[in-house]
């Protein structure tokens, strides 16, 4: 998402006056006025940029809503100066630098010239994506999660492309898709799951996590999925550049034909596009055609939770989902087998002693407490386990 809030930190630093007879008050008055004027000018332009960007994205959303089967063949021109500047201010200011070593503050010091140069490179076809720097962060289970830290200008262009593509795909994504989407975070996903469990006849819960999803996505399939809606070859070329830029680790650049570079700006959107076609549309069809009872689903990024009225549906779905994912180079964690994952939200088929007592589930990084207060009624509360 883009944030158009605070003012720029850029300020004019006045030099020390040579006239030593001037009063201190007079010395400081002019620098303050110049700094305020510069800041006001920047704020005005940022407001104008936000207005221009908002109007452009609104037109894309409207077209996507009205013409759901058509391809968008002319999106590249939306990567304008206002779009790139807005994308820059949407980045995290304290994010770690990529292989270029540039920080947000470094780039902002000469923002106008930098953005104009980047805009020129992108539209002349001279823009080249740089390899992402490998970085590791600890996971809750003690293992290390590999992240890809992109160069700053790659982040800017990716953020701009994400804004444009989100305007299309937010009209296409299904209602049970959560994660890395506007107003669809962890708690929103849990709220939706709680409503589904309490409003439908849900007697069995299946929760699954796709194994190493961001590292195993087929780039060939991903591009084919994107091309279902995006027919602008220049946008497709940008995505290919980012996918093939490689990862720099220990001085060696590795390029792969799988993965989206978890940690990059565009990776979450590409992941949602991939799972929209591989899983979401397939699940919606399976529910219509195959389910013999009630069925609810919530997907948060690569975590999937499905509720069923009948255990037979849950086990048939589990097997069918295994096959579906394998067809697109994905798999579920091998240790998560059906006896462990198909269970009752009431704790009838618990996984642990705690689940037996409370019916708790740990989903999307949060605990979901399902407490029985009356037959078939399980109000839910969520909390962060950390």
**Sign (positive or negative) of CA dihedral 260, 262, 267, 270:** positive
Contact partners, residue 295, CB within 8 Å, separation at least 6: 200, 287, 306, 307, 308, 309, 313, 317
Q: Judge whether residue 277 has pLDDT over 50.
A: yes
Tell me the average pLDDT of the chain: 83
pLDDT (tens digit per residue) in 173-189: 999 999 999 889 999 99
Q: What percent of the chain has pLDDT over 70?
A: 76
Q: Judge whether residue 52 has pLDDT over 50.
A: yes
Q: What is the pLDDT of residue 12?
A: 33
What is the rounded CA–CA span in Å between residue 266 and residue 84?
A: 15
Q: Are 54 and 164 in contact (CB under 8 A)?
A: no
The least confident of 39-43, 115-119, 201-205, 257-261 is 39-43
252/20: higher pLDDT: 252
Q: What is the pLDDT of residue 219?
A: 97
pLDDT band for 217, please (50, 70, 90 cuts). very high
**Sign (positive or negative) of CA dihedral 89, 90, 93, 99:** negative
The least confident of 27-41, 99-113, 193-207, 320-334 is 27-41
Q: What is the pLDDT of residue 361?
A: 53
pLDDT band for 218, please (50, 70, 90 cuts). very high
121 by DSSP, 3-state: which? helix
Q: Are 280 and 174 in contact (CB under 8 A)?
A: yes
The least confident of 32-36, 73-77, 281-285 is 32-36
pLDDT band for 252, please (50, 70, 90 cuts). very high
Q: What is the pLDDT of residue 362?
A: 56
pTM of the complete model: 0.81
Give the pLDDT mean for 211-233.
96
Q: What percent of the chain has pLDDT over 90?
A: 68
pLDDT band for 306, please (50, 70, 90 cuts). very high
pLDDT (tens digit per residue) in 95-149: 999 999 999 999 999 999 999 999 999 999 999 999 999 999 998 778 888 999 9
Find, among 361, 313, 330, 333, the residue nearest to 189 by Cα: 361
**Tokens 């060939």 belong to which residue?**
220
What is the rounded CA–CA span in Å between residue 269 and residue 283?
A: 19
Find, among 338, 385, 345, 339, the residue nearest to 366 by Cα: 385
What is the rounded CA–CA span in Å between residue 362 and residue 381?
A: 12
């Amino acid at each position: 998402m883009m944030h158009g809030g605070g003012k720029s930190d850029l300020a004019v630093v006045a030099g020390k006056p040579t006239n030593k007879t001037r009063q201190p008050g007079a010395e400081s008055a002019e620098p303050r006025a110049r700094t305020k004027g510069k800041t006001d000018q920047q704020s005005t332009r940022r407001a104008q940029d936000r207005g221009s960007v908002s109007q452009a994205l609104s037109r894309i959303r409207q077209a996507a809503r009205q013409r759901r089967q058509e391809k968008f063949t002319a999106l590249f021109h939306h990567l304008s100066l206002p779009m790139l500047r807005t994308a820059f201010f949407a980045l995290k200011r304290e994010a770690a630098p990529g292989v270029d070593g540039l920080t947000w503050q470094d780039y902002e010091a000469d923002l106008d010239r930098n953005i104009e140069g980047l805009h020129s490179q992108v539209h002349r076809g001279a823009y080249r994506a740089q390899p992402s720097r490998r970085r590791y962060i600890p996971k809750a289970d003690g293992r290390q999660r590999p992240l890809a830290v992109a160069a700053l200008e790659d982040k800017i262009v990716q953020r701009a492309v994400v804004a444009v593509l989100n305007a299309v795909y937010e009209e296409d994504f299904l209602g049970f898709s959560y994660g890395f989407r506007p107003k669809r975070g962890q708690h929103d996903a849990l709220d939706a799951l709680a409503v589904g469990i309490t409003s439908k006849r849900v007697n069995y819960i299946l929760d699954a996590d796709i194994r190493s999803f961001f590292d195993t996505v087929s780039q060939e399939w991903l591009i084919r999925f994107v091309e279902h809606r995006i027919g602008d070859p220049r946008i497709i070329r940008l995505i290919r550049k980012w996918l093939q830029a490689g990862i720099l680790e220990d001085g060696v650049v590795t390029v792969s034909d799988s993965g989206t570079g978890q940690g990059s700006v565009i990776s979450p959107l590409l992941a949602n596009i991939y799972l929209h076609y591989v899983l979401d549309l397939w699940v919606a069809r399976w529910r219509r055609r195959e389910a013999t009872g009630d069925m609810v689903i919530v997907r948060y990024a690569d975590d999937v939770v499905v509720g069923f009225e009948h255990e037979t549906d849950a086990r048939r779905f589990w097997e069918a989902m295994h096959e579906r994912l394998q067809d697109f180079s994905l798999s579920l964690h091998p240790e998560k087998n059906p006896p462990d994952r198909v269970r009752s939200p009431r704790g009838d088929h618990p996984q642990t002693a705690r689940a037996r007592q409370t019916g708790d589930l740990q989903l999307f990084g949060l605990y979901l407490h399902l407490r029985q207060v009356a037959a078939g009624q399980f109000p839910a509360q969520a909390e962060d386990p950390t």
